[in-house]
Amino acid sequence: MVEKKDRSQKGFTLWFTGLPCSGKSAVADKVAEILRGKGMRVERLDGDIVRQDLTRDLGFSREDRNENIRRVTFVAKLLTRNGVAVLTSFISPYREVRARSRQEIGDFIEVYAKCSLEECMRRDVKGMYKKAMKGEIKEFTGVSDPYEEPENPEILLQTDKDTLEESVGTVLRRLEELGYLKSHLKAGRS
């Protein structure tokens, strides 16, 4: 049974970052489902979906990637300040751009889905890494374009070592520690 929506909910943005196929979206989707089940107002902003509508005019050059994240940051900021839990999943490869997003949004929790390049390649059902290795895809993060790992993320997930459930648990525990889920998670404990 879904709980009644909490109108006093404090908004925040969980910013999932990591290499392509690192598990960002899988973890974010599951966390969003759990938060919704607890009666929270939740929005998901996913790279593939956002690029179909909000940023379909952009490519994958550094400038276009930065503009993509700028637009997503604007949306996340509006939702966050209106009491919504926003879960984004974007490669967002550049530290400087993530830092600007953090500053702009305010209640920003960086979640690094750390996964080895080898495991990301193994998970790649679309064959993007193979195409990038052959030079068929230009400016591909982790192959021909850099990924700058977060230096101090609030949440570090080892998605190549932990199960999906373990990663989801890590996110939920940390949200509770940071005070974003206090009333939601503790209410169900005996």
Q: Taking Cα atoms as reference points, which of 134, 127, 16, 117 lies closest to residue 69?
A: 16
Please give the single-letter amino acid code of residue 61.
Answer: S
92 has catalytic annotation: yes
The C-alpha atoms of residue 158 and residue 52 are separated, in whole angstroms, by 29
The catalytically annotated residue of 22, 25, 89, 92 is 92
Residue keyed to tokens 């196929």: 21
Cα–Cα distances in angstroms (integers) from residue 76 to residues 34, 47, 112, in the given order: 19, 13, 18
- What is the chain's Cα-based Rg? 17
Instruction: Say whether 67 sits in a helix, a strand or coil.
Output: helix
Compute φ and ψ for 11, nearest 5 degrees: -75, 150
Residue keyed to tokens 């599951």: 30
Q: Taking Cα atoms as reference points, which of 27, 13, 25, 19 lies closest to residue 149?
A: 19
Annotated catalytic residues are: 92
